[in-house]
Amino acid sequence: EEQLLESGGGLLQPGGSLRLSCAASGFTFRSYAMSWVRQAPGKGLEWVSTVTGNSEVTYYADSVKGRSTISRDNSKNTLYLQLNNLRAEDTAIYYCARVLIRYFDLWGRGTLVTVSS
């Protein structure tokens, strides 16, 4: 079964950092671009970042550009998101998603990140 499982969320302080992980299974991980999409409580979906299968190219939303890094380890079938200088507006469920021609065809269950003092 194809599956994505996020981890690394929790309660974090403003100005702090987080590193989210997404473990993939059931498909050839290196063959797909991967993304992070977030959803603030009670709000809609916001694309955050995408990395190509070979890590050659990365894309970022303006809201996180300059303070985030998306990366992957194809030997571990794992996707990562490092987000620094956390703000209250980063509070959201962070979903890992597989990318199929820039659509998101497989989603994890998400991990909740709360930024609060």
Partner 1 sequence: EIVLTQSPATLSLSPGERATLSCRASQSVSSYLAWYQQKPGQAPRLLIYGASNRATGIPARFSGSGSGTDFTLTISSLEPEDFAVYYCQQRGDWPLTFGGGTKVEIK
Binding site for partner 1 (CB under 8 A): 35, 37, 44-47, 50, 59, 61-62, 95, 100-105, 107-110
Distance, C-alpha 108 to centroid of its chain: 10
In this complex, which beta carbon is closest to partner 1, that of residue 71 or of residue 104? Answer: 104
At its nearest, how many Å lie between partner 1 and the CB of residue 107? 4
Please answer whether residues 83 and 64 qualify as being in contact, where contact means their C-beta atoms are separated by less than 8 angstroms. Answer: yes
In this complex, which beta carbon is closest to partner 1, that of residue 13 or of residue 100? Answer: 100
At its nearest, how many Å lie between partner 1 and the CB of residue 117? 27
In this complex, which beta carbon is closest to partner 1, that of residue 56 or of residue 117? Answer: 56
Instruction: Count Cα atoms within 13 angstroms, Cβ side, for 2.
Output: 10
At its nearest, how many Å lie between partner 1 and the CB of residue 13? 27
In this complex, which beta carbon is closest to partner 1, that of residue 11 or of residue 100? Answer: 100
Helix then strand then coil, in percent of the chain rounded to 5, is 5, 55, 40
| DSSP code, position 70 | E
Residue indicated by tokens 């290196």: 30
What are 56's two structure tokens? 């050659």
At its nearest, how many Å lie between partner 1 and the CB of residue 54? 18
